[in-house]
Structure 1
Amino acid sequence: MADIFHEIDEDLRRERFNRLWTRYGSYLIGLAVLVVIAVAGWRGYEWWRLQQDQAAGAQFETALQLAVGGKATEAEAAFQQIEKEGTPGYRVLARFRAATELAKTDRAAAIADYDAIAKDPAISPLMQNVAQVRAALLLVDTAPLADIESRLKPLDTPTGAFRHSAREIVGLAQYKAGDYKAATDSFTAILNDGETPPGLRRRAELLRTLAAASMPMPAPTPAATPAAAPAVQ
């Protein structure tokens, strides 16, 4: 008797499955096909992206070799080509390297390129800050002190990644402008920061010494005039 009930139960399940398959089987097959196509498409995209990255990397290496070989014009053109055709990561690197090569022949144009990078919302804030520092370095010898300070003040925060570089460049600009007291304070701020890199710390110690030595000596205090001796009667 139990076997009969078991067979009936199996028949009911089979019949229910057949009805469901008749109604939804084509959809399930279509869904399975879509999953296979999606996986294959994603794998294909990953392969294509890898090929693009490798090609851009090879182009970037070639451009670097041109730069190292002293062929600034050719290197600049190669980096600009990567800016147009490379993958996103290499495009950003190429923009920096192109500006670096351009600075050898046209400093003003290179500064404009760095400023454009610093204002590009498509670039990460960290790389924007790098561009700000690079532009300020090119300007430190010629720009007014106020310009350097306004450019780098946003980077000089207690936890800013580029606060050390910002303070050093501002200190150099203050020193060149003859504001030795402000320069001494800037280099002291670098030395008082426990996270200052060792190399920068050594430079700051030297520059603070130079700035402090350049400050004018305070005027000597006039000696008091001795009181006149009383007249002898």
Structure 2
Amino acid sequence: MAYDLEEQEKIDALKAWWERYGTLSMALVLVVVAAFAGWRGWQWYASHQAGQAMGYYEALETAAGQQGDDAVTRIKAASTALRTDYASSGYAARGVLVAAWALQERKDLDGAREQLEWLVRDGTAPAVQAVARLRLAGVLLTQKQYDLALAQVQGAAPDGFAGLYADRRGDVLAAQGHADQAVQAWREALKDLGADPAAQIIQLKIDALNGA
């Protein structure tokens, strides 16, 4: 097929461009395709992981509402799976907190302590971590591990937890026999909690200790 001079010049220019930039263009196309495929693959993986984590969380919640040794076994198994395989998911910290509560309700303090200690070490959910420290202090107080309990609620408290941490410090100090320090901690809690219903309970503790 014959081409006129103008068409031939266009064809020659296109060939020259392709010889110069064709390989680079194909490489760029492949990079874009690979990146898109990788992004879609990551989306699928993240969705799959979230679905699996949710399944373990729901199984844990169900077991927490049941009784018996089998329920305890399922609670611990689901919590272990969340901590081991889905620690970065939003379900892990919440699930472990539920597991700690369920085990504490069943008087399995060592089991609850293990769950809470993991949460205290975990940094992916600061709000849950703050709750875990408070509850861990309570478990350690019950186990009469007073120094360890006090360490959980010493220093600067997370936002919104100053009163609760001071209250728990008072509980530990009272158990240690440090009445004056306990009352001081409880008064700090009252100042922070204001009209919170928990303040009434704290005032009763102060009155009881002062009247002892």
More displaced 10-residue stretch of structure 1: 42-51 or 98-107: 98-107
Unpaired stretches in structure 2, ≥5 consecutive residues: none
Matched, 1:115 2:117: yes
Deviation per residue, 1:162-186 (Å, 9 max, x gap): 2222112112223444444333322
Distance 2:125 2:63 in 1: 27
Distance 2:201 2:92 in 1: 38
The answer as to whether partners of 2:137 and 2:150 remain within 8 angstroms in 1 is no
Q: Which residue of 2 aligns with 1:48?
A: 45
Q: Which residue of 1 aligns with 2:189?
A: 190
Rg (Cα) greater in structure = 1
Q: Which residue of 1 aligns with 2:167?
A: 168
Question: Are the structure 2 counterparts of residues 37 and 213 from structure 1 closer, same or farther at C-alpha, using a change threshold of 3 Å?
Answer: closer
Superposed CA RMSD: 3.3
TM-score by length of 1: 0.69
Given residue 168 of structure 1, which amino acid in structure 2 is its aligned partner? Answer: D
Matched, 1:129 2:124: no
Q: Cα offset for 1:86? A: 3.4
Q: Which residue of 2 aligns with 1:208?
A: 203
Unpaired stretches in structure 1, ≥5 consecutive residues: 1-6, 218-233
Q: Cα offset for 1:55? A: 2.6
Q: Which residue of 2 aligns with 1:3?
A: none
Counterpart of 2:149 in 1: which secondary structure?
helix
The answer as to whether partners of 2:79 and 2:95 remain within 8 angstroms in 1 is yes
Question: Are the structure 2 counterparts of residues 75 and 108 from structure 1 closer, same or farther at C-alpha, using a change threshold of 3 Å?
Answer: closer
Q: 2:28 aligns with which of 21, 27, 31?
A: 31
The answer as to whether partners of 2:60 and 2:75 remain within 8 angstroms in 1 is yes
Matched, 1:148 2:145: no
The answer as to whether partners of 1:136 and 1:152 remain within 8 angstroms in 2 is yes
Matches within 5 A, 1:3-42: 18-42=15-39
Of structures 1 and 2, the one scoring higher in RCO (CA 8 A, sep 6+) is: 2
Q: Cα offset for 1:65? A: 0.9
Report the count of equivalent residues. Answer: 203
Distance 2:140 2:35 in 1: 52
Q: 1:58 aligns with which of 32, 55, 58?
A: 55
